[in-house]
């Protein structure tokens, strides 16, 4: 297992390595800045000595102009450093964000349900943000600070060897002290990031439920929970900040000691006639400058502690491996697909209780199945196994007469369509909501699908056609219009199997008729599973399967079951299915 430093170097090689020219430019800018900083105290010291000795005015002017030019040059290099380092940080961290987001999207549903969307956002964005300085400046600034320290020691040592030795001792004590404190706040910084993720997860979850909270008068409960979450967040941040602040306080104390020592040494050397006033002035400036690289080292160590905490959290996500793996086959046959469950059992990882128990049935290509059952009977779990959001813990799910585990995940899901009651609408155009941001789908194809599904009248009512912007979460769309968009998405895929979770269950009667006509076109020449909640929905299916307690309670042709007075389906028809399976 890699140490923190090894992992840091690994990340630098992976995400900063491709931007080596920018790293070299940044190093040159930092070194140039450090070099100019070493020049100015000497110029200032010479200016003071010339002025005291009543030297030529022209020499004073030259020293002043040179001092200004060197100062302006240092500022220009500093601006360049800021730009290049920021550009490098964005490039490197965006690459990591992309890899982290892609990895999260590839993980199994079992893991994705362990964190809220807000926590995932904090991991992908917040934790990666802490690595920006590590990627763009950490090693280069450490190197430039060390070189500046060495430069100051060389300059003062050249002036008086005793100053050089004293400065070497002071810098050694300062660096050893700071290095001994570099891991002091790692655990608290990690806790800070963890609590931050929980806090933003809390906010995201409550915002999503804002309508229910308002309607049911839960605002004061939410605010109490918000206060408690904020208190935990503030407490964790304060602890981590105090631990990190100890490094800065220590470096500042060392600076005060060093500056005092420099003044005393300068006075002694002046009275011993070993130094001029200008040289004493330069000495104090060099000692003041010495605080810069020491402070920079302290700040980099503070940032490194936050970065190490974020690296551990990022590594935790990247270390999670998929258990649902691709099979060797990446092609499924065209047209409607046969589906079969062969003695399927299933239980979730955190429970030994079986959700599905010995479930078996078969759908021939083009057959439509009505799936009925009470809440918790296993209907939704059954559909998730078809998509391989989970894998069966016993038995086999077969598509096109092959175990679904033989196919790649992408190939499998490209041949299965899904429409749920809650359609996800993005803050984007109708075009991008229909094609789900797949730029390879041309507008002509979208118009063709809209026409084929009988949605021309709806489409013509849009103010800007495909460019019509839709609000987040479907703001401005009716439930029926959102369902029409969902049908269009599925039609673009041209799947061989469709799973419908009663898309018309919450619609008014007029809209339901429109949806029903569209469903007829969508389901034509396709195998389908319709999770039904209304009696009217199952009138179109060929087969009926009733789930009860994770088992198949009844399965057979709809007309045959409806005509058998002893069947469960016939009982549902007599009593009213809505009440019987609620």
Structural domain contains residue 400:
no
Assess if residue 350 is contained within a domain.
Answer: no
Output the 3-class SS for 318-368: HCCCCCCCCCCECCCCCCCCCEEEEEEEECCCCCCCCCEEEEEEEECCCCE
For residues 268 and 160, membership in a common domain is answered with yes
Q: How confident is the model at residue 503 (pLDDT cuts 50, 70, 90)?
A: low
Higher pLDDT, 172 or 340: 340
Say yes or no: 254 and 373 in one domain.
no
Residue-wise pLDDT for 353-388, tens only, equals: 889 999 999 999 999 999 998 888 899 899 999 999
Helix (H) / strand (E) element for 447: namely: helix 443-452
Q: Which of 12-16, 140-144, 390-394, 430-434 bottoms out in mean pLDDT, i.e. has the lowest? A: 140-144
The answer to whether residue 336 is domain-embedded is no
Q: Give the pLDDT score at 422.
A: 78
Q: What is the mean pLDDT of residues 505-526?
A: 73
Last residue of one domain, picked from the residues 279, 298, 318: 318
Inter-axis angle of helices 277-318 and 219-271, nearest 10 = 150
Average pLDDT over residues 388-392: 93
- Higher pLDDT among residues 101 and 50, named by residue: 101
Is the pLDDT assigned to residue 580 strictly greater than 60? no
Contact between residue 178 and residue 255 where contact means Cβ atoms under 8 Å apart: no
Give the span between the Cα atoms of 123 and 103, in whole angstroms.
12
Nearest to 118 by CA among 231, 221, 229: 229
DSSP run (H or E) holding 464: none
In this predicted structure, what is the pLDDT of residue 579? 47
Residues of the domain holding 223? 4-318
Interior angle at CA 264, CA 260 and CA 265, nearest 5: 115
**Hunting for tokens 């703001």 — which residue is that?**
475
Q: Does 290 reside within a domain?
A: yes
Q: What is the mean pLDDT of residues 157-168?
A: 79
Judgement on whether residues 145 and 289 belong to the same structural domain of the protein: yes
Mean pLDDT computed over every residue of the chain: 83
Six token digits for residue 21? 């020219």
Domain at 156, CATH number: 1.20.1560.10
Q: What is the reported pLDDT for 582?
A: 43
Say whether 313 sits in a helix, a strand or coil: helix
Give ∠ CA 62-67-70 in degrees, rounded to 5.
120
pLDDT at 228 over 70: yes
Give the CATH number of the domain where residue 528 resides: 3.40.50.300
DSSP 8-class letter at 298: H
Q: Taking Cα atoms as reference points, which of 466, 480, 468, 555 lies closest to residue 519?
A: 480
Instruction: Please give the span between the terminal C-alpha atoms of the chain, in angstroms, as a whole number.
Output: 52
Tell me how far apart the alpha carbons of residues 572 and 250 are, in angstroms, rounded to a whole number.
Answer: 77
Q: Is residue 237 domain-shared with residue 372, that is, in the same domain?
A: no
User: What is the length of the chain?
Assistant: 582
Q: Rounded to whole angstroms, how far apart are CA atoms 27 and 483?
A: 56
Same domain, 181 and 275: yes
Going by the DSSP 8-state scheme, the letter that residue 469 receives in this structure is B
User: Are 244 and 131 contained in the same domain?
Assistant: yes
Separation of CA 40 from chain center? 46
Cα separation, 434 vs 445, in Å, equals 11
For 401-455, write each residue's pLDDT tens digit: 999 999 999 999 999 998 887 788 888 888 998 898 888 999 999 998 888 777 7
How far is residue 332's CA from residue 154's CA, in Å, rounded to a whole number? 73
- Spatial separation of the C-alpha atoms in residues 385 and 360, rounded to whole Å: 13
**56-60, 102-106, 218-222, 391-395: range with lowest mean pLDDT:** 56-60
d(CA 243, CA 184): 7
- The answer to whether residue 40 sits within a structural domain is yes
Percent helix, strand, coil in the chain, to 5, is 65, 10, 25
Between the ranges 294-303, 314-323, 471-480, where is the mean pLDDT highest? Answer: 314-323
Evaluate whether residue 439 is within a structural domain.
no
The residue written with tokens 């804002």 in the block is: 210
- In the numeric block, the tokens 């940044």 are attached to 26
307 and 216 in a common domain:
yes
| Sequence-separated contacts (24+) of 36-39 with Cβ below 8 Å | 36/70, 36/71, 36/73, 36/74, 36/77, 37/74, 37/148, 37/289, 37/292, 38/148, 38/151, 38/152, 38/155, 39/70
Residues 148 and 83 grouped into a single domain:
yes
Does residue 329 lie within any of the structural domains? no
529: left (phi over 0), alpha (psi -120 to 50) or beta: beta
pLDDT in tens, 122-133: 778 878 887 877
Q: Which of 497, 491, 360 is nearest to 415 (CA)?
A: 497
Instruction: Check residue 302 and give its pLDDT.
Output: 67
Residues 127 and 242 in one domain: yes
Residue-wise pLDDT tens digits, 195-220: 887 887 788 778 877 777 877 778 88
214 and 282 assigned to the same domain: yes
For residues 59 and 181, state if they share a domain: yes
Q: Which of 3-17, 197-211, 373-387, 509-523 has the lowest mean pLDDT?
A: 509-523
What 3 state SS string does 383-421 have?
A: HHHHHCCCCCCEEEEEECCEEHHHECHHHHHHCEEEECC
pLDDT score at 63: 80
pLDDT per residue over 525-560, tens digit each? Answer: 999 999 987 766 788 899 999 999 999 999 999 999
Instruction: Kindly report, residue by residue over 440-454, the tens digit of the pLDDT.
Output: 999 999 998 888 777
**111 and 233: one domain?**
yes
Q: What's the pLDDT at 337? A: 95
Domain assignment of residue 154, yes or no:
yes
Name the percent of the chain lying above pLDDT 70.
92
**Taking 90 as the threshold, does the pLDDT of residue 476 lie above it?**
no
Number of domains into which the chain is organized: 2
Taking residues 323-349, what's their average pLDDT?
A: 93
Q: Could you count the other beta carbons within 10 Å of the beta carbon of residue 264?
A: 10
Q: In whole angstroms, give the CA distance from residue 64 to residue 558.
A: 98
pLDDT at 15 over 50: yes
């Amino acid at each position: 297992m890699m140490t923190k430093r090894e992992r840091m170097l690994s990340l630098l090689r992976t995400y900063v390595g491709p931007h080596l020219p920018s790293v070299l430019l940044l190093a040159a800018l930092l070194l140039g800045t450090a070099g100019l900083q070493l020049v100015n105290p000497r110029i200032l010291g010479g200016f003071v000595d010339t002025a005291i000795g009543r030297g030529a005015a022209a020499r004073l002017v030259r020293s002043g102009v040179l001092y200004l030019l060197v100062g302006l040059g240092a500022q220009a290099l500093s601006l360049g450093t800021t730009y290049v380092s920021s550009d490098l940080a964005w490039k490197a961290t965006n690459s990591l964000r992309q890899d982290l987001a892609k990895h999260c999207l590839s993980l199994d549903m079992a893991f994705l349900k362990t964190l809220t969307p807000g926590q995932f956002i904090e991991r992908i964005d917040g934790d990666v943000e802490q690595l920006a300085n590590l990627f763009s400046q950490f090693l280069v600034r450490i190197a430039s600070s060390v070189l500046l320290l060495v430069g100051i020691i060389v300059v003062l040592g050249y002036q008086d060897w005793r100053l050089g030795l004293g400065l070497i001792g002071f810098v050694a004590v300062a660096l050893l002290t700071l290095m001994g404190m570099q891991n002091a706040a790692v655990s608290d910084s990690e806790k800070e990031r963890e609590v931050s993720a929980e806090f933003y997860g809390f906010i995201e979850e409550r915002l999503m439920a804002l309508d229910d909270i308002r309607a049911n008068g839960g605002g004061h409960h939410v605010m109490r929970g918000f206060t408690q979450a904020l208190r935990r967040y503030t407490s964790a941040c304060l602890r981590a900040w105090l631990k990190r602040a100890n490094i800065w306080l220590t470096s500042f104390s060392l600076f005060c000691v060093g500056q005092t020592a420099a003044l005393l040494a300068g006075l002694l050397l002046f009275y011993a006639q070993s130094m001029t006033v200008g040289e004493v002035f330069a000495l104090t400036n060099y000692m003041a400058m010495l605080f810069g690289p020491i402070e920079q080292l302290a700040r980099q160590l503070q940032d490194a502690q936050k970065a190490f905490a974020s690296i551990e959290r990022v590594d935790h996500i990247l270390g999670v491996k998929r258990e649902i793996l691709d099979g060797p086959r990446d092609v499924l046959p065209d047209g409607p697909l046969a589906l079969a469950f062969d003695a399927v059992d299933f239980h979730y990882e955190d429970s030994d209780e079986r959700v599905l128990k010995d479930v078996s049935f078969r759908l021939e290509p083009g057959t439509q199945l009505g799936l009925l059952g009470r809440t918790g009977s296993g209907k939704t779990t059954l559909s998730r196994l078809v998509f391989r959001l989970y894998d069966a813990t016993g038995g086999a799910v077969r598509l096109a007469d092959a175990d679904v585990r033989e196919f790649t995940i992408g190939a499998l899901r490209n041949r299965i369509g899904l429409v749920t009651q809650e359609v996800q609408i993005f803050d984007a155009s109708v075009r991008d909501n229909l094609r789900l941001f797949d730029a390879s789908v041309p507008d002509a194809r979208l118009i063709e699908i809209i026409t084929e599904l009988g949605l021309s009248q709806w489409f013509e009512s849009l103010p800007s056609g495909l460019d019509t912007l839709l609000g987040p979460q479907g703001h401005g769309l009716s439930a029926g219009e959102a369902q029409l968009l969902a049908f269009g998405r599925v039609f673009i895929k041209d799947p061989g199997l469709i799973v419908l979770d009663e898309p018309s269950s919450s619609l008014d009667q007029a809209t339901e008729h429109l949806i029903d006509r569209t469903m007829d076109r969508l389901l034509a020449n396709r195998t389908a599973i319709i999770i039904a909640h209304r009696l009217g929905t199952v009138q179109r299916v060929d087969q009926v399967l009733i789930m009860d307690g994770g088992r198949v309670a009844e399965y057979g042709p709809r007309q045959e079951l409806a005509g058998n007075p002893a069947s469960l389906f016939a009982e549902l028809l007599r009593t009213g299915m809505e009440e019987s399976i609620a």
